[in-house]
Amino acid sequence: MAQIYRPSQARKSKTTSPVKRDVNVSALDHQGRGVVRDSSGVRFVSGALSGEVIDFQPQGKWQGKLLQVKTPTSDRVIAACPHYNDCGGCDLQHLELTAQRQHKQQVVTELFAKFAGHKITSWEAPLTAEAWRYRRRLRLACHWDGKRRKFKLGLRQANSKSIVEIDDCLISDEALTRLLTPLRGLLSQLSLVKQLGHVELISSTVVSIVLRLQRWPDAVDLPQLQKFAQQYQVDFWIQCNESAPQPLDPQQQLPTYASWQTELAFQPGDFLQAHGDLSVLLVEQALAWLDPQPEDSILELYAGSGNFSLPIAKQGAKVTAIEGVQSMVERLNSSARQHDLEIVARQADLSADWQQYEWARTPFNKVFLDPARAGAAHAIEEVCVRQPQRVIYVSCAPDTLARDAQALFSAGYHLARAQIVDMFPQTHHIECLTWFEREA
C-alpha cells in the first residue's frame, strides 16, 4: 500500500495573555461580574466588585480571572461557605447582603432603560426573608468512575463539568443537606449508580429524592432504597429518561407546599419557587397589588399548579388559569375542588395564536402572569390587544421582563410599582414584581 507523506503538525501552544495590574472595576454587570475597561476593550471578571482595584488575567475574548484585590470596596465581605471558590452555585457571597439587593434593583433599572426606554421611579423596598438555609430544592450532579469504582455527588464547579463534592450547602434547607453524606454512601453501593443522571432533593411536608435513571431500579436495589426511605423518612421518586417522576412506593401521597392561606399538592418535577417563605410573601404582595374583587374577571397565565390561582380565587374573583403542562392543570383542578373553589383551568400553548382557544374570547379586566425565563413575548402582545385595566407581572429574568414591558408601554400602560423579590440571596439571579396600569 502506498503511503502518502504528510508533514507533522506542531501542536498549537496556548499563549497566556499578560496580567493586567492595578485595574479599576467600574461596575457590576447583570450576572454580578466586575466590569473593567481599558484600551483593549471590556472584560468581565467574576469575584470583582465595583469600585475595587484588582489584578486579573485576561481569558478568551471577554472574560478575566481575578488574581488579587488590591483595594477592596467597603461592600466586600468574606464568603461564609468553604466551597465558595470552587462551587458554581452561589456567585455573590462576597457582596454584602444589602448591596446585593441594591445591585439587583439597579440591574432592573438599567435593563428597563435599555430595552424599554423607561426610567423606573416607582420602586418599593425589596421584599426579603432569610438569606441562608432558604433553598428547598437542591439539584446534584453525579458521576460514577467505573475504573476507580468511585462515585461523586455534589455541585458543578463554575464554568466546568467538574463536580465539587459537598457535605453541606449554606443556602439550602438543612432537611436536605443532612442527607448528603448518607445518600452518597447509599448510591455508591447500588447497581443503578452506573446509569444515574442526576439527583434532586426537595423539601416540603416530606423530603422527596428524585433519581434520574435510564430504567426502573432492579430487585436488588429496591430493598435498599426502601430501607433508606424508612430510616430517613423520605420519599423516593424515579424519573426514567424524559418521563415524569413516579413514586417508588405506589402508596406515596403527593407532597404539599404552603401558599398564601392554603396548602397545595405538587409532584416532583413541577415548578416550585426556590425560597419557601418568600414564595408565600410574594403571593401575598401580588394579591395586594392585583386587588381581586368579586366583580373581577382575572386571567392568569403560566399558572403552574395553582400557587397564585387558589389565593386569587379565595378573594371571590372569577379566575381563568392557563398552564402549558397538562399534569399541572390537573393538579390545579384537583386542589381547587379540594378547597371548594371555582377556577377555570385550561392547558394551552401561550406562544401560539390565542384565537383557537375559547377562553381567550372572554373579556378580562385584570391579568396576572408569572412566566419562565424566556418571558411572554407572544402572550403579552395578546394581552395588549385585549386591554385589561391592570397587569401584574412576576419575572425571574429582568431582560425579558423589560422587553415585555416595552410592549405594554407602547399599548398605553404605565408602570405603577416595581419591587425586587430577593428569591435567590447570595446569587445574581433576580426576581421582580411589577404592576402595570392602563392609562385612562
- The residues annotated with a catalytic role in the active site are 396
Please state, in angstroms and rounded to a whole number, the distance separating the CA atoms of residues 428 and 328: 29
Please, what sign has the CA dihedral across residues 258, 260, 266, 271?
A: negative
Please state, in angstroms and rounded to a whole number, the distance separating the CA atoms of residues 211 and 89: 20
Q: Which residues pair with 433 in a beta bridge?
A: 394, 419
Q: Specify the residue for cell string 398552564.
A: 323
